[in-house]
Chain A
Protein backbone atom coordinates (compact mmCIF):
# COMPACT_ATOMS: atom_id res chain seq x y z
CA UNK A 1 0.00 0.00 0.00
CA UNK A 2 1.24 3.48 -0.82
CA UNK A 3 2.25 5.01 2.52
CA UNK A 4 0.83 8.36 1.51
CA UNK A 5 -2.64 6.88 1.21
CA UNK A 6 -2.60 5.73 4.81
CA UNK A 7 -3.10 9.17 6.33
CA UNK A 8 -6.22 10.13 4.32
CA UNK A 9 -7.61 6.67 4.97
CA UNK A 10 -7.13 7.13 8.71
CA UNK A 11 -8.83 10.51 8.57
CA UNK A 12 -11.85 8.70 7.13
CA UNK A 13 -11.73 5.81 9.59
CA UNK A 14 -11.45 7.86 12.80
CA UNK A 15 -14.96 9.47 12.62
CA UNK A 16 -16.44 6.11 11.68
CA UNK A 17 -14.98 4.60 14.86
CA UNK A 18 -16.43 7.45 16.90
CA UNK A 19 -19.86 6.96 15.28
CA UNK A 20 -19.74 3.26 16.02
CA UNK A 21 -18.92 4.02 19.65
CA UNK A 22 -22.01 6.27 19.84
CA UNK A 23 -24.26 3.69 18.26
CA UNK A 24 -23.19 0.59 20.17
CA UNK A 25 -24.09 -0.05 23.79
CA UNK A 26 -26.22 -2.05 26.15
CA UNK A 27 -29.21 0.19 25.38
CA UNK A 28 -30.07 0.47 21.67
CA UNK A 29 -30.63 4.08 20.66
CA UNK A 30 -32.21 5.38 17.50
CA UNK A 31 -29.99 8.11 16.02
CA UNK A 32 -32.99 10.04 14.70
CA UNK A 33 -33.94 10.81 18.31
CA UNK A 34 -30.93 13.12 18.42
CA UNK A 35 -32.68 15.48 16.06
CA UNK A 36 -36.42 15.19 16.63
CA UNK A 37 -36.27 15.03 20.42
CA UNK A 38 -38.54 11.93 20.54
CA UNK A 39 -36.24 10.02 22.88
CA UNK A 40 -34.82 12.32 25.56
CA UNK A 41 -33.20 9.47 27.47
CA UNK A 42 -31.46 8.13 24.36
CA UNK A 43 -30.30 11.60 23.48
CA UNK A 44 -28.71 12.19 26.85
CA UNK A 45 -27.25 8.67 26.78
CA UNK A 46 -25.43 9.47 23.56
CA UNK A 47 -24.44 13.08 24.21
CA UNK A 48 -23.69 12.87 27.92
CA UNK A 49 -22.32 9.36 28.34
CA UNK A 50 -21.13 7.79 25.12
CA UNK A 51 -19.77 10.86 23.35
CA UNK A 52 -17.53 12.14 26.19
CA UNK A 53 -16.31 8.63 26.85
CA UNK A 54 -15.52 8.00 23.17
CA UNK A 55 -13.70 11.32 22.89
CA UNK A 56 -11.70 10.56 26.04
CA UNK A 57 -10.77 7.19 24.57
CA UNK A 58 -9.70 8.86 21.35
CA UNK A 59 -7.56 11.38 23.22
CA UNK A 60 -5.92 8.77 25.45
CA UNK A 61 -5.18 6.45 22.52
CA UNK A 62 -3.79 9.28 20.42
CA UNK A 63 -1.62 10.53 23.27
CA UNK A 64 -0.20 7.08 23.96
CA UNK A 65 0.56 6.29 20.32
CA UNK A 66 2.23 9.67 19.80
CA UNK A 67 4.24 9.34 23.02
CA UNK A 68 5.28 5.83 21.97
CA UNK A 69 6.52 6.99 18.57
CA UNK A 70 8.56 9.77 20.23
CA UNK A 71 9.91 7.49 22.96
CA UNK A 72 11.08 4.91 20.41
CA UNK A 73 13.16 7.48 18.56
CA UNK A 74 14.42 9.09 21.78
CA UNK A 75 15.63 5.78 23.18
CA UNK A 76 16.61 4.43 19.75
CA UNK A 77 14.82 1.27 20.69
CA UNK A 78 11.93 -0.20 18.75
CA UNK A 79 10.76 -1.95 21.92
CA UNK A 80 10.34 1.27 23.89
CA UNK A 81 6.82 2.28 24.85
CA UNK A 82 5.47 5.27 26.78
CA UNK A 83 5.61 3.30 30.04
CA UNK A 84 9.15 2.01 29.77
CA UNK A 85 10.65 4.86 31.80
CA UNK A 86 8.28 4.28 34.71
CA UNK A 87 6.02 7.27 34.08
CA UNK A 88 2.88 5.15 34.23
CA UNK A 89 4.27 3.31 37.28
CA UNK A 90 4.57 6.61 39.14
CA UNK A 91 1.06 7.54 38.08
CA UNK A 92 -0.21 4.13 39.23
CA UNK A 93 1.23 4.60 42.70
CA UNK A 94 -0.42 8.03 42.91
CA UNK A 95 -3.77 6.68 41.74
CA UNK A 96 -3.69 3.56 43.92
CA UNK A 97 -2.77 5.50 47.06
CA UNK A 98 -5.74 7.78 46.38
CA UNK A 99 -8.02 4.75 46.01
CA UNK A 100 -6.53 3.21 49.16
CA UNK A 101 -7.34 6.28 51.20
CA UNK A 102 -10.75 6.61 49.61
CA UNK A 103 -10.11 9.99 47.98
CA UNK A 104 -12.38 11.18 45.18
CA UNK A 105 -11.85 10.89 41.43
CA UNK A 106 -10.42 14.40 41.22
CA UNK A 107 -7.75 13.58 43.79
CA UNK A 108 -7.01 10.32 42.05
CA UNK A 109 -6.34 12.06 38.74
CA UNK A 110 -4.32 14.81 40.39
CA UNK A 111 -2.16 12.32 42.23
CA UNK A 112 -1.70 10.15 39.15
CA UNK A 113 -0.43 13.17 37.25
CA UNK A 114 1.77 14.15 40.18
CA UNK A 115 3.25 10.62 40.32
CA UNK A 116 4.04 10.80 36.61
CA UNK A 117 5.73 14.20 36.98
CA UNK A 118 7.81 13.05 39.96
CA UNK A 119 8.96 10.06 37.90
CA UNK A 120 9.94 12.26 34.96
CA UNK A 121 12.11 14.45 37.18
CA UNK A 122 13.54 11.46 39.03
CA UNK A 123 14.53 9.54 35.88
CA UNK A 124 15.94 12.63 34.22
CA UNK A 125 17.95 13.58 37.29
CA UNK A 126 19.31 10.08 37.82
CA UNK A 127 20.06 9.43 34.14
CA UNK A 128 21.71 12.80 33.73
CA UNK A 129 24.15 12.19 36.57
CA UNK A 130 27.61 13.36 35.65
CA UNK A 131 27.85 14.65 32.13
CA UNK A 132 25.94 13.22 29.24
CA UNK A 133 23.02 10.84 29.18
CA UNK A 134 23.06 8.22 26.50
CA UNK A 135 19.83 6.57 25.38
CA UNK A 136 20.99 3.35 27.02
CA UNK A 137 21.66 5.04 30.36
CA UNK A 138 18.27 6.68 30.28
CA UNK A 139 16.58 3.39 29.35
CA UNK A 140 18.27 1.49 32.19
CA UNK A 141 17.47 4.20 34.72
CA UNK A 142 13.84 4.27 33.62
CA UNK A 143 13.47 0.50 33.68
CA UNK A 144 14.85 0.35 37.22
CA UNK A 145 12.63 3.20 38.45
CA UNK A 146 9.68 1.43 36.80
CA UNK A 147 10.59 -1.76 38.67
CA UNK A 148 10.58 0.21 41.92
CA UNK A 149 7.10 1.60 41.21
CA UNK A 150 5.90 -1.84 40.22
CA UNK A 151 6.98 -3.25 43.57
CA UNK A 152 5.26 -0.35 45.34
CA UNK A 153 2.09 -1.02 43.35
CA UNK A 154 2.16 -4.71 44.33
CA UNK A 155 2.66 -3.68 47.95
CA UNK A 156 -0.38 -1.39 47.85
CA UNK A 157 -2.46 -4.13 46.21
CA UNK A 158 -1.33 -6.60 48.89
CA UNK A 159 -2.37 -4.42 51.83
CA UNK A 160 -5.47 -2.88 50.25
CA UNK A 161 -8.87 -3.93 51.60
CA UNK A 162 -10.74 -6.20 49.23
CA UNK A 163 -13.45 -3.67 48.36
CA UNK A 164 -10.79 -1.41 46.80
CA UNK A 165 -9.10 -4.08 44.72
CA UNK A 166 -11.55 -4.03 41.83
CA UNK A 167 -11.05 -0.32 41.16
CA UNK A 168 -7.28 -0.64 41.53
CA UNK A 169 -7.03 -3.49 39.04
CA UNK A 170 -9.18 -1.60 36.54
CA UNK A 171 -6.92 1.44 36.87
CA UNK A 172 -3.81 -0.66 36.30
CA UNK A 173 -5.27 -2.37 33.24
CA UNK A 174 -6.71 0.86 31.92
CA UNK A 175 -10.32 1.94 32.15
CA UNK A 176 -12.29 4.90 30.84
CA UNK A 177 -15.10 4.68 33.38
CA UNK A 178 -13.75 7.59 35.41
CA UNK A 179 -12.37 9.67 32.57
CA UNK A 180 -12.55 13.44 33.12
CA UNK A 181 -14.37 15.65 30.59
CA UNK A 182 -12.67 14.99 27.25
CA UNK A 183 -11.87 18.58 26.27
CA UNK A 184 -8.52 18.82 28.07
CA UNK A 185 -7.32 15.50 26.73
CA UNK A 186 -8.21 16.51 23.20
CA UNK A 187 -6.47 19.86 23.59
CA UNK A 188 -3.30 18.21 24.90
CA UNK A 189 -3.41 15.71 22.02
CA UNK A 190 -3.72 18.43 19.40
CA UNK A 191 -1.11 20.61 21.10
CA UNK A 192 1.29 17.66 21.39
CA UNK A 193 0.99 16.89 17.71
CA UNK A 194 1.38 20.54 16.75
CA UNK A 195 4.57 21.08 18.74
CA UNK A 196 6.08 17.84 17.37
CA UNK A 197 5.32 18.34 13.71
CA UNK A 198 7.95 21.05 13.10
CA UNK A 199 10.52 18.60 14.48
CA UNK A 200 9.29 15.59 12.51
CA UNK A 201 12.07 15.88 9.94
CA UNK A 202 14.61 16.13 12.77
CA UNK A 203 13.20 12.84 14.01
CA UNK A 204 13.78 11.25 10.60
CA UNK A 205 17.40 12.31 10.84
CA UNK A 206 17.73 11.24 14.48
CA UNK A 207 16.42 7.81 13.49
CA UNK A 208 19.58 7.44 11.38
CA UNK A 209 21.71 7.78 14.52
CA UNK A 210 22.74 10.51 16.93
CA UNK A 211 26.09 11.25 15.30
CA UNK A 212 24.60 11.35 11.82
CA UNK A 213 21.90 13.67 13.12
CA UNK A 214 24.54 15.92 14.69
CA UNK A 215 26.51 15.97 11.45
CA UNK A 216 23.32 16.93 9.59
CA UNK A 217 22.82 19.97 11.77
CA UNK A 218 20.43 18.66 14.42
CA UNK A 219 21.11 19.89 17.93
CA UNK A 220 20.78 16.39 19.39
CA UNK A 221 21.00 17.43 23.03
CA UNK A 222 18.12 19.88 22.76
CA UNK A 223 16.04 17.58 20.60
CA UNK A 224 16.37 14.76 23.12
CA UNK A 225 15.34 16.98 26.00
CA UNK A 226 12.38 18.19 23.96
CA UNK A 227 11.33 14.63 23.12
CA UNK A 228 11.65 13.54 26.72
CA UNK A 229 9.55 16.38 28.10
CA UNK A 230 6.86 16.12 25.42
CA UNK A 231 6.60 12.33 25.49
CA UNK A 232 6.51 12.42 29.29
CA UNK A 233 3.72 15.03 29.43
CA UNK A 234 1.68 13.18 26.81
CA UNK A 235 2.02 9.92 28.71
CA UNK A 236 1.15 11.55 32.02
CA UNK A 237 -1.99 13.06 30.48
CA UNK A 238 -3.00 9.74 28.92
CA UNK A 239 -2.67 7.72 32.12
CA UNK A 240 -4.49 10.43 34.04
CA UNK A 241 -7.42 10.04 31.65
CA UNK A 242 -7.55 6.28 31.26
CA UNK A 243 -5.13 4.55 33.63
CA UNK A 244 -2.25 2.56 32.21
CA UNK A 245 -3.81 1.15 29.06
CA UNK A 246 -1.19 -1.15 27.65
CA UNK A 247 -0.19 -2.01 24.13
CA UNK A 248 -1.37 1.08 22.21
CA UNK A 249 1.85 3.03 22.67
CA UNK A 250 4.10 0.14 21.71
CA UNK A 251 2.19 -1.35 18.85
CA UNK A 252 0.58 1.53 16.98
CA UNK A 253 3.86 3.19 15.89
CA UNK A 254 5.18 -0.23 14.89
CA UNK A 255 2.09 -1.12 12.99
CA UNK A 256 2.44 2.05 10.95
CA UNK A 257 6.14 1.43 10.36
CA UNK A 258 5.29 -2.06 9.15
CA UNK A 259 2.78 -0.53 6.76
CA UNK A 260 5.64 1.48 5.29
CA UNK A 261 5.36 4.81 7.10
CA UNK A 262 8.85 5.79 8.18
CA UNK A 263 8.70 9.53 7.54
CA UNK A 264 7.70 11.03 10.88
CA UNK A 265 5.85 13.85 9.17
CA UNK A 266 3.28 11.20 8.23
CA UNK A 267 3.94 8.80 11.06
CA UNK A 268 3.14 11.20 13.93
CA UNK A 269 -0.32 12.31 12.77
CA UNK A 270 -1.07 8.76 11.65
CA UNK A 271 -0.12 7.49 15.11
CA UNK A 272 -2.54 9.91 16.79
CA UNK A 273 -5.39 8.83 14.49
CA UNK A 274 -4.65 5.11 14.72
CA UNK A 275 -4.09 5.11 18.48
CA UNK A 276 -7.25 7.14 18.99
CA UNK A 277 -9.37 4.96 16.72
CA UNK A 278 -8.00 1.75 18.22
CA UNK A 279 -8.80 2.83 21.75
CA UNK A 280 -12.30 4.01 20.78
CA UNK A 281 -13.00 0.62 19.21
CA UNK A 282 -11.48 -1.24 22.14
CA UNK A 283 -13.51 0.75 24.64
CA UNK A 284 -16.71 0.12 22.69
CA UNK A 285 -16.00 -3.60 22.80
CA UNK A 286 -14.99 -3.41 26.47
CA UNK A 287 -18.27 -1.90 27.58
CA UNK A 288 -20.58 -3.89 25.33
CA UNK A 289 -19.26 -7.42 24.79
CA UNK A 290 -20.21 -8.72 28.25
CA UNK A 291 -22.76 -5.98 29.01
CA UNK A 292 -23.86 -5.00 31.55
CA UNK A 293 -20.49 -6.13 32.87
CA UNK A 294 -17.66 -3.81 31.78
CA UNK A 295 -14.14 -4.98 31.02
CA UNK A 296 -10.94 -2.95 31.44
CA UNK A 297 -10.14 -1.48 28.03
CA UNK A 298 -6.48 -2.54 28.25
CA UNK A 299 -7.53 -6.17 27.96
CA UNK A 300 -9.32 -5.43 24.70
CA UNK A 301 -6.52 -3.32 23.17
CA UNK A 302 -4.23 -6.30 23.54
CA UNK A 303 -6.82 -8.75 22.21
CA UNK A 304 -7.44 -6.59 19.14
CA UNK A 305 -3.87 -5.53 18.62
CA UNK A 306 -1.99 -8.78 19.04
CA UNK A 307 -3.48 -10.65 16.06
CA UNK A 308 -3.29 -7.62 13.76
CA UNK A 309 0.30 -7.00 14.70
CA UNK A 310 1.33 -10.64 14.32
CA UNK A 311 -0.36 -10.79 10.93
CA UNK A 312 1.56 -7.75 9.69
CA UNK A 313 4.81 -9.04 11.12
CA UNK A 314 4.27 -12.33 9.36
CA UNK A 315 3.42 -10.67 6.07
CA UNK A 316 6.52 -8.48 6.19
CA UNK A 317 8.90 -11.03 7.65
CA UNK A 318 11.32 -10.56 4.75
CA UNK A 319 12.18 -7.08 5.89
CA UNK A 320 12.31 -7.24 9.65
Chain B
Protein backbone atom coordinates (compact mmCIF):
# COMPACT_ATOMS: atom_id res chain seq x y z
CA UNK B 1 0.00 0.00 0.00
CA UNK B 2 1.15 3.50 -0.76
CA UNK B 3 2.24 5.70 2.10
CA UNK B 4 0.40 9.05 2.02
CA UNK B 5 2.55 12.06 1.18
CA UNK B 6 1.19 13.95 4.17
CA UNK B 7 -1.00 12.61 6.92
CA UNK B 8 -2.49 14.10 10.08
CA UNK B 9 -3.49 12.17 13.20
CA UNK B 10 -5.99 13.92 15.49
CA UNK B 11 -4.52 17.28 14.62
CA UNK B 12 -5.56 20.15 16.85
CA UNK B 13 -4.59 23.67 15.76
CA UNK B 14 -5.35 26.90 17.58
CA UNK B 15 -4.48 30.52 17.00
CA UNK B 16 -5.13 33.35 19.42
CA UNK B 17 -7.36 31.09 21.56
CA UNK B 18 -9.50 30.17 18.54
CA UNK B 19 -9.76 26.58 17.42
CA UNK B 20 -8.96 26.09 13.74
CA UNK B 21 -9.42 22.35 13.67
CA UNK B 22 -9.66 19.52 16.17
CA UNK B 23 -9.20 15.81 15.62
CA UNK B 24 -8.39 16.44 11.98
CA UNK B 25 -7.48 13.24 10.16
CA UNK B 26 -6.61 13.63 6.53
CA UNK B 27 -4.27 11.86 4.17
CA UNK B 28 -2.95 13.61 1.10
CA UNK B 29 -1.87 11.01 -1.40
CA UNK B 30 0.32 11.37 -4.44
CA UNK B 31 -1.62 12.61 -7.45
CA UNK B 32 -4.27 14.39 -5.36
CA UNK B 33 -5.10 18.08 -5.62
CA UNK B 34 -6.61 19.45 -2.42
CA UNK B 35 -8.48 22.70 -1.92
CA UNK B 36 -8.87 24.46 1.42
CA UNK B 37 -11.95 26.70 1.71
CA UNK B 38 -13.34 28.88 4.49
CA UNK B 39 -14.29 32.41 5.43
CA UNK B 40 -11.75 35.12 6.26
CA UNK B 41 -10.04 34.63 9.59
CA UNK B 42 -11.13 31.02 10.07
CA UNK B 43 -7.49 29.90 10.16
CA UNK B 44 -6.80 28.57 6.67
CA UNK B 45 -3.34 30.10 6.51
CA UNK B 46 -2.56 28.99 10.07
CA UNK B 47 -3.50 25.42 9.18
CA UNK B 48 -1.46 25.54 5.98
CA UNK B 49 1.62 26.82 7.83
CA UNK B 50 1.15 24.12 10.47
CA UNK B 51 0.96 21.43 7.80
CA UNK B 52 4.12 22.87 6.23
CA UNK B 53 5.91 22.51 9.58
CA UNK B 54 6.33 26.23 10.19
CA UNK B 55 4.16 26.22 13.35
CA UNK B 56 3.69 23.63 16.01
CA UNK B 57 0.18 22.19 16.47
CA UNK B 58 -1.47 22.13 19.92
CA UNK B 59 -1.92 18.39 19.72
CA UNK B 60 -1.74 15.57 17.25
CA UNK B 61 0.81 14.45 14.71
CA UNK B 62 1.68 15.35 11.16
CA UNK B 63 3.59 12.80 9.17
CA UNK B 64 5.52 13.38 5.97
CA UNK B 65 5.82 10.07 4.16
CA UNK B 66 5.23 8.31 7.48
CA UNK B 67 7.92 10.26 9.35
CA UNK B 68 6.89 12.71 12.09
CA UNK B 69 7.24 16.22 10.66
CA UNK B 70 8.54 17.74 13.89
CA UNK B 71 11.49 15.33 13.96
CA UNK B 72 12.66 16.03 10.42
CA UNK B 73 15.36 18.60 9.64
CA UNK B 74 14.00 21.79 8.05
CA UNK B 75 16.05 21.22 4.93
CA UNK B 76 14.57 17.78 4.44
CA UNK B 77 11.05 19.18 4.81
CA UNK B 78 11.84 21.92 2.28
CA UNK B 79 12.92 19.29 -0.24
CA UNK B 80 9.45 17.74 0.04
CA UNK B 81 7.07 20.60 0.84
CA UNK B 82 7.05 23.93 -0.98
CA UNK B 83 4.96 26.84 0.24
CA UNK B 84 3.69 29.85 -1.68
CA UNK B 85 2.85 32.56 0.84
CA UNK B 86 -0.18 34.79 0.59
CA UNK B 87 1.97 37.87 0.23
CA UNK B 88 5.64 38.29 -0.24
CA UNK B 89 7.57 41.19 1.06
CA UNK B 90 11.01 42.00 -0.18
CA UNK B 91 12.82 44.35 2.13
CA UNK B 92 15.94 43.85 0.00
CA UNK B 93 14.87 43.10 -3.56
CA UNK B 94 17.34 41.48 -5.90
CA UNK B 95 17.01 40.47 -9.52
CA UNK B 96 14.33 38.14 -10.82
CA UNK B 97 16.87 35.39 -11.52
CA UNK B 98 18.38 35.64 -8.03
CA UNK B 99 14.91 35.37 -6.51
CA UNK B 100 13.97 32.26 -8.50
CA UNK B 101 17.30 30.68 -7.62
CA UNK B 102 16.47 30.99 -3.90
CA UNK B 103 14.02 28.16 -4.62
CA UNK B 104 17.02 25.86 -5.05
CA UNK B 105 18.24 26.62 -1.52
CA UNK B 106 17.13 23.34 0.13
CA UNK B 107 18.95 21.32 -2.52
CA UNK B 108 22.35 22.99 -2.10
CA UNK B 109 25.00 22.30 0.51
CA UNK B 110 26.44 24.94 2.82
CA UNK B 111 29.31 25.98 0.54
CA UNK B 112 27.73 24.90 -2.72
CA UNK B 113 26.85 27.35 -5.49
CA UNK B 114 23.98 26.97 -7.91
CA UNK B 115 25.11 24.80 -10.83
CA UNK B 116 23.98 24.45 -14.41
CA UNK B 117 21.10 22.20 -13.38
CA UNK B 118 19.81 24.75 -10.89
CA UNK B 119 20.04 27.56 -13.43
CA UNK B 120 18.27 25.43 -16.03
CA UNK B 121 15.44 24.65 -13.57
CA UNK B 122 15.16 28.32 -12.63
CA UNK B 123 15.06 29.49 -16.24
CA UNK B 124 12.50 26.82 -17.13
CA UNK B 125 10.35 27.90 -14.20
CA UNK B 126 10.54 31.53 -15.31
CA UNK B 127 9.55 30.53 -18.80
CA UNK B 128 6.66 28.45 -17.41
CA UNK B 129 5.16 31.46 -15.67
CA UNK B 130 5.75 33.70 -18.68
CA UNK B 131 8.61 35.70 -17.22
CA UNK B 132 11.31 34.79 -19.70
CA UNK B 133 13.44 37.80 -20.52
CA UNK B 134 12.88 39.23 -17.03
CA UNK B 135 15.98 37.57 -15.51
CA UNK B 136 17.94 40.76 -14.81
CA UNK B 137 14.97 42.94 -13.82
CA UNK B 138 14.90 44.19 -10.24
CA UNK B 139 12.04 42.58 -8.35
CA UNK B 140 10.71 45.90 -7.07
CA UNK B 141 10.09 47.07 -10.64
CA UNK B 142 7.59 44.25 -11.24
CA UNK B 143 3.81 44.58 -11.03
CA UNK B 144 1.82 42.73 -8.37
CA UNK B 145 0.80 40.00 -10.80
CA UNK B 146 4.34 39.60 -12.11
CA UNK B 147 5.64 39.26 -8.56
CA UNK B 148 3.04 36.60 -7.89
CA UNK B 149 4.19 34.67 -10.94
CA UNK B 150 7.80 35.12 -9.82
CA UNK B 151 6.97 33.61 -6.41
CA UNK B 152 5.32 30.69 -8.22
CA UNK B 153 8.40 30.28 -10.40
CA UNK B 154 10.56 30.09 -7.25
CA UNK B 155 8.20 27.40 -5.95
CA UNK B 156 8.49 25.46 -9.22
CA UNK B 157 12.27 25.76 -9.09
CA UNK B 158 12.16 24.34 -5.55
CA UNK B 159 10.55 21.29 -7.12
CA UNK B 160 8.82 19.91 -4.02
CA UNK B 161 6.57 16.88 -3.93
CA UNK B 162 3.79 18.65 -2.10
CA UNK B 163 2.90 22.12 -3.37
CA UNK B 164 1.17 24.24 -0.73
CA UNK B 165 -0.25 27.49 -2.02
CA UNK B 166 -1.94 30.29 -0.10
CA UNK B 167 -4.36 32.02 -2.47
CA UNK B 168 -2.15 31.47 -5.52
CA UNK B 169 -4.43 33.49 -7.79
CA UNK B 170 -4.03 36.75 -5.85
CA UNK B 171 -3.22 39.65 -8.19
CA UNK B 172 -3.54 37.43 -11.26
CA UNK B 173 -5.71 38.19 -14.29
CA UNK B 174 -8.09 35.41 -15.50
CA UNK B 175 -5.70 34.22 -18.20
CA UNK B 176 -2.86 33.77 -15.74
CA UNK B 177 -5.16 32.30 -13.06
CA UNK B 178 -6.18 29.48 -15.36
CA UNK B 179 -2.78 29.19 -17.03
CA UNK B 180 -0.86 28.84 -13.78
CA UNK B 181 -3.32 26.45 -12.15
CA UNK B 182 -3.19 24.36 -15.35
CA UNK B 183 0.56 24.34 -15.01
CA UNK B 184 0.34 23.25 -11.38
CA UNK B 185 -2.06 20.48 -12.39
CA UNK B 186 0.46 19.25 -14.97
CA UNK B 187 3.24 19.28 -12.38
CA UNK B 188 1.15 17.19 -10.00
CA UNK B 189 0.15 14.84 -12.79
CA UNK B 190 3.82 14.11 -13.62
CA UNK B 191 3.66 11.21 -11.23
CA UNK B 192 7.31 10.18 -11.53
CA UNK B 193 7.96 11.04 -7.91
CA UNK B 194 4.39 11.26 -6.67
CA UNK B 195 3.41 14.87 -6.29
CA UNK B 196 0.32 16.47 -4.77
CA UNK B 197 -1.01 19.97 -4.10
CA UNK B 198 -2.96 21.74 -1.37
CA UNK B 199 -4.18 25.26 -1.96
CA UNK B 200 -6.28 27.88 -0.25
CA UNK B 201 -8.82 29.37 -2.65
CA UNK B 202 -11.68 31.81 -2.36
CA UNK B 203 -13.13 31.08 -5.77
CA UNK B 204 -15.39 28.01 -5.46
CA UNK B 205 -15.36 27.50 -9.20
CA UNK B 206 -11.58 27.45 -9.43
CA UNK B 207 -11.72 24.88 -6.62
CA UNK B 208 -14.21 22.71 -8.52
CA UNK B 209 -12.10 22.99 -11.63
CA UNK B 210 -8.67 22.35 -10.15
CA UNK B 211 -9.18 20.33 -6.96
CA UNK B 212 -10.29 16.74 -6.59
CA UNK B 213 -10.37 16.84 -2.79
CA UNK B 214 -11.61 19.60 -0.51
CA UNK B 215 -11.27 20.57 3.10
CA UNK B 216 -13.85 23.00 4.47
CA UNK B 217 -13.11 24.98 7.63
CA UNK B 218 -16.39 26.01 9.28
CA UNK B 219 -14.85 27.67 12.34
CA UNK B 220 -15.01 26.49 15.99
CA UNK B 221 -12.82 23.59 14.93
CA UNK B 222 -15.51 22.08 12.68
CA UNK B 223 -14.09 20.67 9.48
CA UNK B 224 -15.27 18.53 6.61
CA UNK B 225 -12.95 16.91 4.13
CA UNK B 226 -13.17 14.39 1.35
CA UNK B 227 -13.46 13.98 -2.42
CA UNK B 228 -14.77 17.16 -4.06
CA UNK B 229 -17.84 15.41 -5.43
CA UNK B 230 -18.98 14.40 -1.93
CA UNK B 231 -18.18 17.61 -0.13
CA UNK B 232 -19.28 20.16 -2.65
CA UNK B 233 -22.97 20.98 -2.42
CA UNK B 234 -25.16 23.99 -1.84
CA UNK B 235 -25.89 23.14 1.80
CA UNK B 236 -22.24 22.75 2.79
CA UNK B 237 -21.19 25.90 0.93
CA UNK B 238 -24.03 27.96 2.37
CA UNK B 239 -23.02 26.83 5.84
CA UNK B 240 -19.34 27.44 5.07
CA UNK B 241 -19.71 31.04 3.98
CA UNK B 242 -22.71 31.97 6.13
CA UNK B 243 -24.28 33.27 2.96
CA UNK B 244 -26.64 31.55 0.52
CA UNK B 245 -24.85 29.88 -2.40
CA UNK B 246 -26.71 28.80 -5.51
CA UNK B 247 -25.67 26.36 -8.25
CA UNK B 248 -26.26 26.89 -11.95
CA UNK B 249 -25.75 24.27 -14.63
CA UNK B 250 -22.70 25.25 -16.67
CA UNK B 251 -21.10 23.65 -19.72
CA UNK B 252 -18.70 21.62 -17.53
CA UNK B 253 -20.91 20.91 -14.51
CA UNK B 254 -22.29 23.02 -11.69
CA UNK B 255 -21.22 26.66 -11.32
CA UNK B 256 -21.55 28.05 -7.78
CA UNK B 257 -22.51 31.66 -7.18
CA UNK B 258 -23.26 33.73 -4.11
CA UNK B 259 -27.06 34.01 -3.87
Task: Knowing A211-B49, A211-B85, A319-B138, say if A216 contacts B102 (CB, 8 Å).
Answer: yes
Set of chain B residues within 8 Å of A77, measured between Cβ atoms: 91
A78: interface (CB < 8 Å): yes
- Give the complex CA separation of A290 and B57 in angstroms: 66
Task: Report Cα–Cα, A199/B111, bound state, in Å.
Answer: 8
Q: Is A148 an interface residue (CB 8 A)?
A: no
- Assess the B98–A76 pair: CB atoms within 8 A: no
Among B26-34, B75-83, B178-186, the one that faces the other chain is B75-83
Contact of B78 among A78, A209, A217 (CB under 8 A): A217
B236 to chain A, nearest CB (A): 30
Interface pair A211/B78, CB less than 8 Å apart? no
Residue-wise, chain A 20-52 has the 8 Å CB interface mask toward B (1 for contact) of: 000000000000000000000000000000000
B48 to chain A, nearest CB (A): 10
B window 104-135: CB within 8 A of A: 105-106, 108, 110-111, 113
For A208, what are the chain B residues with a Cβ–Cβ distance below 8 Å?
A: 88, 90, 99, 102
A201→B85 contact, CB < 8 A = no
Q: B99: which A residues are within 8 A, CB to CB?
A: 208
The chain B residue sitting closest to A135, CB to CB, is B91
Interface size on A, residues (CB 8 A): 29
| Complex-state Cα separation, A257 to B98, whole angstroms | 13
Chain B residue numbers with a CB within 8 Å of A262 are 92-95, 98
Contact with A along B60-85 (1 / 0, CB 8 A): 00000000000001111111011101
With both beta carbons as reference points, the residue of chain B lying nearest to A265 in the complex is identified as: B113
Taking CB atoms, residues of chain A closer than 8 Å to B11 are none
Contact B94 A207 (CB under 8 A): yes
CB-CB under 8 A for A209 and B85, given A201-B105, A204-B94, A217-B75: yes
- Indicate if the CB atoms of B106 and A216 lie closer than 8 Å: yes
Asked whether A72 is an interface residue with its Cβ less than 8 Å from the other chain, the reply is yes
The interface residues of chain A lying within 8 Å CB-to-CB of B82 are: 215
- Contact check, A205 vs B102: say whether CB atoms are below 8 A apart: yes
Q: List 25 A-B residue pairs with CB atoms under 8 Å apart, sorted by A's residue number.
A: A198-B111, A199-B110, A205-B102, A208-B99, A209-B88, A209-B89, A209-B90, A209-B91, A211-B85, A212-B85, A212-B88, A214-B54, A215-B54, A215-B78, A215-B83, A216-B78, A216-B102, A216-B105, A216-B158, A217-B75, A217-B77, A262-B92, A262-B95, A262-B98, A319-B141
- Which residues of chain A are within 8 angstroms of B75 by Cβ–Cβ distance? 217
Closest to B110 in A: A198
In order of increasing CB-CB distance, the 4 nearest A-B pairs are A217-B78, A262-B94, A217-B106, A215-B83
Add 4 more A-B contacts to A215-B54, A217-B75 (CB < 8 A). A204-B105, A207-B92, A211-B85, A215-B82
Cα(A212)–Cα(B83), bound, Å = 8
Q: Which residue of the partner chain A has the closest CB to B86?
A: A211
Instruction: Tell me whether B140 and A319 are in contact (CB under 8 A).
Output: yes
In the complex, A265→B110 CA distance in Å? 12
Instruction: Give the residues in chain A near B54, CB-CB below 8 Å.
Output: 211, 214-215
Cα separation A320 to B90 with both chains bound (whole Å): 12
Answer whether A72 and B92 are a contact pair too, CB < 8 Å, given A211-B49, A319-B138: yes
Complex CA gap A209/B84 in Å reads 12
- CB-CB < 8 A to A7: which residues of B? none
- In the complex, which residues of chain B have a beta carbon less than 8 angstroms from the beta carbon of A161? none
Contacts of B52 in A (CB 8 A): 215
Q: Which residue of A lies closest to B84 (CB)?
A: A215
* Residues in B whose Cβ lies below 8 Å from that of A219: 74
Residues of chain B contacted by A318 (CB below 8 angstroms): 141
Given the complex, which residues of B lie within 8 Å of A218, measured CB to CB?
Answer: 74, 105
Q: How far is the CB of A13 from chain B (nearest CB, A)?
A: 24
Contact A217-B92, Cβ < 8 Å, known A263-B98, A318-B141, A319-B140: no
